[in-house]
Structure 1
């Protein structure tokens, strides 16, 4: 009935209609309640007991409140179960995205606020009489309900995903010589994160070296557990991969919700490559990256990742503030963007010759912009844009850079120059390859491309080339990735999946 996770819901925000927002504020004052969330919960509960929702159009012009105010980690699954059950019984359909869930909350809140206000008026705004109505309704509810085949809680994530293997994990840790206790677990889209307390911190190295044996003890097949940091002393995060049948794969609707989760700004280049291991949206500003290297083995999601990054930029900008220089040596990856108003020089640079010409043109554009910046008395494109207009960001996506360098070694020095100097001119690079090796990705390129995304690779040496450290060889494939940004810890994410049809629809 829903593939949403608790983490997705708890990181979201909710609002009702302008009409219900006004009633909510009035009820807050009349009932002496401290927050709108208190009234919202009463309103949603009141609506759930009132049968099928009407087909009325409900606006979303009320003020937002965070999910952490409306729900708690303890009761959120109960609320989702109630809402999902109501939708199932009354033909409301399933919650296949955060948008559909937010809409259900908004409509129930809208209807319930009016019903509560009617109740309040019916008792002439007598507080004790109003509370008596609420208590009577509660006492009239049955203590149990007949099983109608509707699963209220288990539909949050597949049953296997909610299976707590804490006891098995403690035993497996003991088998490799590590004494530990499990202090909690969060089930994410693909892995379950266990909070592990080490009884002896001196056993941390033993745990690091024993991850392969731990995988064997937990029967993880060819999947590897990974270690992360925790927010408590002597504890760490242990991410245990789950079978693929339990994965919750985020798609177009989830990406659209992520894109709407923060305000749009034409002064940033916010991109949303995927969801974190506990379901939160992962995003960063490419303008501060300031350049990005994306690498991974064939079929592990590199091309999809590139499309997600491009769509992220297009949906948050206009052609006046963003231009895309798409360089496609193999002539197959960026054809979907042909004719787009966002294209720099109105073309996708396909083939080696056009790729070389496009890179030469970027260098010329960079030099030209620096002349203009000097004339305007500013040192970056944002100040130039405010002073004189124009100066859109240019983001160059270069696919299969390794193949391009092999065929034309002259492009390497030009890319290095762009990486060293193009940031202040508002030009940013996203380089991609399926063949990460030291011959084609020199230390000079890597040292000037500080941000990296590594998808699954075959060997630890390939992970070392992309990330400057190992780890990508143990990823789960299908968009599983490690993200490295300057000055920040390595972050794991599960990429959004977009088909070419989704890309066409979104652009």
Structure 2
């Protein structure tokens, strides 16, 4: 893409130039043009003309750039190059939630892949966890079993609805911890954990939904409610949403969802109506496809045109294989277990007595310690903790501190 900057004569109205769009296209013998009038921060009008021969932007070049390397945030992701050839990176903490939309083959899935690979380069599994929801079953399958995941990639739409409810519950749990600790956001909480050596640090959680339309067809009300609750409240507790769809219609991207997701990326769409649904203005219908995007940043009035990165399937497989060697994943839940999340706590759990003995031996009890010791999911470990508390074996919750054990082994034998 080449941009010509035109400085109009004093007294010439901007709309006189924008109305000449077709005449300019004819004179330049261009396939299509896009007029940005005026260029933000300048007193010129930009006329963008597609180049005859396009140049690919590879993710490896972006990762080597100083803009990416020198950014201290573990949630830094490389997006692409702007029209002047400068690398553009985004910090998910500042986004704090993103909507990615465009027609089939426009570059949405590649964009998601580049963000996920960027996060794997930038952050360890202790710093950033991911929940990947992929109703199409194939787009995010290569990321299965990486240590950053809180569960295997979720492919069932009904299970995905339950997964979003789990995220809402996790958000509420984190805010309860913050309230007990007297902090407002995740960064300060983790600093407090490090200073006082109490409990465990909370990782950031990135939730990626690759096709929102499939979920909205199964359970529109539940999905919309969960997404809106997460988008409204989850930023301070370190949970961030990335939602992609190839159907940018109002029944998929509802007014409530759009109002709560400030950062948006529009790829090539078929009509001006679709463009307005995504970024509240026309322009995306004139994009060229193959990674050509309009990036509307949180707090920005006008979108920036970027050429998105490209990462091949082979490169993804190599990165994933390398990350898998570092550590085995510790899942907080499996898909089957998630469907039972709403069920009542039952007394029948074969691990209950073993968990009690383990807690007495360690003289403390926490959900994470049971997960590690018995290799179970978060939900089952939380149920065991609830059962122990109900039996009077351990104390109630004390913020991020482990619970006190109130029984000895002899007391436990008498209880049996």
With the length of structure 1 as denominator, give the TM-score of the two structures: 0.59
- Output aligned runs, 1:306-317, within 5 Å: 306-317=112-123
| Cα shift at 1:196 | 1.5
Match of 1:333, SS? coil
Deviates more, 1:330-339 or 1:255-264: 255-264
- Output aligned runs, 1:264-275, within 5 Å: 264-265=71-72, 267-275=73-81
Contact 2:266 2:295 in 1 (8 A): yes
Which structure's relative contact order is higher, taking Cα pairs within 8 Å and 6+ residues apart? 2
| Cα shift at 1:231 | 8.2
Pick from 190, 211, 224 the counterpart of residue 21 of structure 2. Answer: 211
CA separation of 1:440/1:230 partners in 2, compared to 1, >3 Å: closer, same or farther? closer
CA deviation vs aligned residue, 1:102-158 (integer Å, no higher than 9, x gap): xxxxxxxxxxxxxxxxxxxxxxxxxxxxxxxxxxxxxxxxxxxxxxxxxxxxxxxxx
Counterpart for residue 284 of structure 1: 90
Counterpart for residue 46 of structure 2: 237
Measure the CA separation in 2 of the matches of 1:349 and 1:357: 10
CA separation of 1:234/1:446 partners in 2, compared to 1, >3 Å: closer, same or farther? closer
Counterpart for residue 381 of structure 2: none
Match of 2:69, SS? coil
| Cα shift at 1:201 | 4.2
CA separation of 1:201/1:492 partners in 2, compared to 1, >3 Å: closer, same or farther? farther
CA separation of 1:324/1:228 partners in 2, compared to 1, >3 Å: closer, same or farther? farther
Measure the CA separation in 1 of the matches of 2:42 and 2:97: 35
Counterpart for residue 428 of structure 1: 240
- Output aligned runs, 1:64-103, within 5 Å: none
Pick from 392, 398, 401 the counterpart of residue 203 of structure 2. Answer: 392
CA separation of 1:201/1:400 partners in 2, compared to 1, >3 Å: closer, same or farther? farther
* 1:487 aligns to 2:299 (yes or no): yes
| Cα shift at 1:501 | 1.1
CA deviation vs aligned residue, 1:235-292 (integer Å, no higher than 9, x gap): 233222212xx21111133232237743252x45221111111111011211111100
CA separation of 1:255/1:502 partners in 2, compared to 1, >3 Å: closer, same or farther? farther
Match of 1:445, SS? helix
Match of 1:437, SS? coil
| Cα shift at 1:350 | 1.2
Counterpart for residue 126 of structure 2: 320
Match of 1:390, SS? coil
Counterpart for residue 311 of structure 2: 498
CA separation of 1:262/1:276 partners in 2, compared to 1, >3 Å: closer, same or farther? same
| Cα shift at 1:319 | 0.5
After superposition, the CA RMSD in angstroms is 1.8
* 1:356 aligns to 2:161 (yes or no): yes
Deviates more, 1:316-325 or 1:251-260: 251-260
Counterpart for residue 478 of structure 1: 290
CA separation of 1:233/1:369 partners in 2, compared to 1, >3 Å: closer, same or farther? closer
Measure the CA separation in 1 of the matches of 2:83 and 2:145: 37
Deviates more, 1:313-322 or 1:202-211: 202-211
CA deviation vs aligned residue, 1:457-501 (integer Å, no higher than 9, x gap): 000111111111111000111000000012223111000111111
Counterpart for residue 256 of structure 1: 63
Measure the CA separation in 2 of the matches of 1:235 and 1:277: 15
Match of 2:147, SS? coil
Match of 2:266, SS? strand
CA separation of 1:229/1:213 partners in 2, compared to 1, >3 Å: closer, same or farther? same
Structure 1 unmatched runs, 5+: 1-190
With the length of structure 2 as denominator, give the TM-score of the two structures: 0.72
Counterpart for residue 253 of structure 2: 441
Match of 2:167, SS? helix
CA separation of 1:231/1:483 partners in 2, compared to 1, >3 Å: closer, same or farther? closer
Match of 1:214, SS? helix
| Cα shift at 1:230 | 4.9
Contact 1:258 1:272 in 2 (8 A): no
CA separation of 1:234/1:304 partners in 2, compared to 1, >3 Å: closer, same or farther? closer
| Cα shift at 1:195 | 2.3
CA deviation vs aligned residue, 1:156-186 (integer Å, no higher than 9, x gap): xxxxxxxxxxxxxxxxxxxxxxxxxxxxxxx
Structure 2 unmatched runs, 5+: 194-199, 321-416
- Output aligned runs, 1:165-176, within 5 Å: none
Pick from 246, 265, 289 the counterpart of residue 453 of structure 1. Answer: 265
Pick from 277, 286, 291 the counterpart of residue 465 of structure 1. Answer: 277
| Cα shift at 1:334 | 0.7
Match of 2:237, SS? coil
Counterpart for residue 6 of structure 2: 196
Measure the CA separation in 2 of the matches of 1:204 and 1:502: 45
| Cα shift at 1:405 | 0.6
Counterpart for residue 135 of structure 1: none
Measure the CA separation in 2 of the matches of 1:352 and 1:364: 19
CA separation of 1:462/1:431 partners in 2, compared to 1, >3 Å: closer, same or farther? same
Counterpart for residue 402 of structure 1: 213
* Greater Cα radius of gyration, structure 1 or 2: 1
* 1:365 aligns to 2:162 (yes or no): no
